[in-house]
Amino acid sequence: MIMPNNLGRQYSLHAEEYKKKACEVLDSGWYILGKEVSAFEEEWARYIGAKYCVGLASGLDALWISFRLLNIGEGDEVIVCANAYIACVMGITMNGATPVFVEPDQYDNIDAEKIEEKVSDKTKAILAVHLYGQSCDMTKIMSLAQKYDLKVVEDCAQSHGNHWNGQTVGTFGDVGCFSFYPSKGCGAFGDAGCIVTNDEELAKKFKVFRNYGSEKRYHNMMVGSNSRLDEMQAGLLRIKLSHLDEFNEERCRIADRYYNEIKNPLIQFPKIRPGADSSWHQFVVHVSGHRDALMGFLKKQEIGTLIHYPIPPHLSEAYSYLGHKKGDFPIAEKYADEVLSLPMYNGMTNDEQQIVINAINEFNAEDVNNEFKG
């Protein structure tokens, strides 16, 4: 059985290092906001190329706390791609702000050419989601932000260490938000997240907010939250970070093989925008008309695939209150019907890669349709 993602494989590449660190943290007697968190924040900020990093409890927290601290809430609009992950949209709506959707382009990211027509006098920010491991067009987004005086929040949950014109994502906007959910590029062994920023005041606010609004114990400056990164996750993330470039390079090699050896006219390969690179958080192909047939065909051969994402946020039950209907964002809706994420994980063997490639090359829509009819 080949799984779409196999976290145990990545773990087993450096298992002894993780075990040693876990024991160190257990033995330390200090479990929340300690030296591992401070060290990780420093190392992550340096890796990304930002001045400050603040560890948080999840990627969703990074998003909603960003909008909260940027004073974006009720009555405000935030622009986001229509093919986003639902958490991106929740990050906006948890403060009462309204998401304004923009269609994706051929690179599966927000179509920056279509942002301007959605800017109103209520627009306060753009949430730039770097989906699947590839940067958005940050040049265009930053110039629009400047023109209309908008904040820019970057959702880098899927793009740990990606670049736009050589600059690391997360450093363009006011805040860069990261999730360290186990399946993300630099994945924790539980939930974790962080923000990066170059704004010292803002970084300070995040530190206070994540700890009930207090800098000094029992002196609460604001109504905050509990969104602390713990010592265990921070310690383990430091080890993951030390291998992150290797992990990203390994997935690039797998992606290269898929590009070179999958030869099936039914498959549309992912496209990389000039100026961007990809860390292949997901290898997302488009299979127009035959996606579900291919998925079923692969499943029969014990090859697991995933759909990121089957229901665009505007059609999600959670957002029925926004009043959107089917047909409002036809490109995002079409993508939801044709995207398929192929198996992609660190520690994937050559044989496993070959099995996936062979199976996809064998796939023939007519055969499958006949089989389903028979």
Ligand X SMILES: *Cc1c(COP(=O)(O)O)cnc(C)c1O
Contacts with ligand X, residue ranges (CB under 6 A) = 58-60, 85, 87-88, 129, 155, 157-158, 179, 181, 191, 193
Instruction: Name which of 99 and 352 has its Cβ closer to ligand X.
Output: 99
| φ and ψ at residue 352, rounded to 5 degrees | -65, -40
Element of type H or E holding 152: strand 151-155
Q: How far is the CB of 195 from ligand X (least distance, A)?
A: 12
Amino acid at the residue 94: M
Beta-carbon count within 10 A of 160 CB: 28
Which of 305, 297, 304 lies closest to 359, judged by CA? 297
User: CA 366 to CA 371: how far, in whole Å?
Assistant: 8
* Backbone Cα Rg of the chain: 21
Exposure on the CB side of residue 364, measured as CA atoms within 13 A: 5
Q: How far is the CB of 266 from ligand X (least distance, A)?
A: 27
Instruction: Name which of 131 and 357 has its Cβ closer to ligand X.
Output: 131
> Using CB atoms, what's the residue nearest to ligand X?
59
Residue 223, C-beta contacts closer than 8 angstroms, at least 6 positions apart? 213
Instruction: Name which of 91 and 343 has its Cβ closer to ligand X.
Output: 91
Q: How far is the CB of 131 from ligand X (least distance, A)?
A: 6
Instruction: Name which of 279 and 353 has its Cβ closer to ligand X.
Output: 279
Q: How far is the CB of 191 from ligand X (least distance, A)?
A: 6
Instruction: Name which of 286 and 308 has its Cβ closer to ligand X.
Output: 308
Q: How far is the CB of 262 from ligand X (least distance, A)?
A: 25
Bond preceding residue 309 cis, omega within 30 of 0: yes
| φ and ψ at residue 60, rounded to 5 degrees | -60, -40
| φ and ψ at residue 126, rounded to 5 degrees | -115, 130
Q: How far is the CB of 132 from ligand X (least distance, A)?
A: 9
Instruction: Name which of 297 and 309 has its Cβ closer to ligand X.
Output: 309
